[in-house]
Amino acid sequence: MQVQLFNSKLEVKIDNEKCDKCLICVKLCPTKAIYLKKDELEVNQDLCINCYGCVVVCPRKAIAIKRIDSVLGYCTLTI
């Protein structure tokens, strides 16, 4: 029997095509995780605490929080 070991984490994704750079999310973010870099918004995922505040306030619905799964490895059980 083989068991897959997963690691799951949440990531904030910003659609810069939809974003009109109103910067409401930048001002609201409690950990300053969202920042402007060369006219595009980026997110420092290490600072984000997944509070969903930016998702809720964005008037353009340009922000989403997505679950990212990655396979850590496989465990083979012998019973």
24 binds ligand SF4 (CB under 6 A): yes
Residue 51: is it exposed, middle or buried by C-beta count within 10 angstroms (0-12/13-18/19+)? middle
Q: Can you tell me the distance from the alpha carbon of 57 to that of 55, in angstroms, rounded to the nearest whole number?
A: 6
60 binds ligand SF4 (CB under 6 A): yes
Q: How does DSSP classify residue 47? A: T
The two beta strands, 34-37 and 40-43, are antiparallel
Beta carbon nearer to ligand SF4, 6 or 30: 30
- Please select the residue that binds ligand SF4; options are 40, 52, 68, 75, rule is CB under 6 A: 52
Give the footprint of ligand SF4 on this chain (CB under 6 A): 12, 14, 19-25, 28-31, 33-34, 41, 43, 48-54, 57-58, 60, 62-63
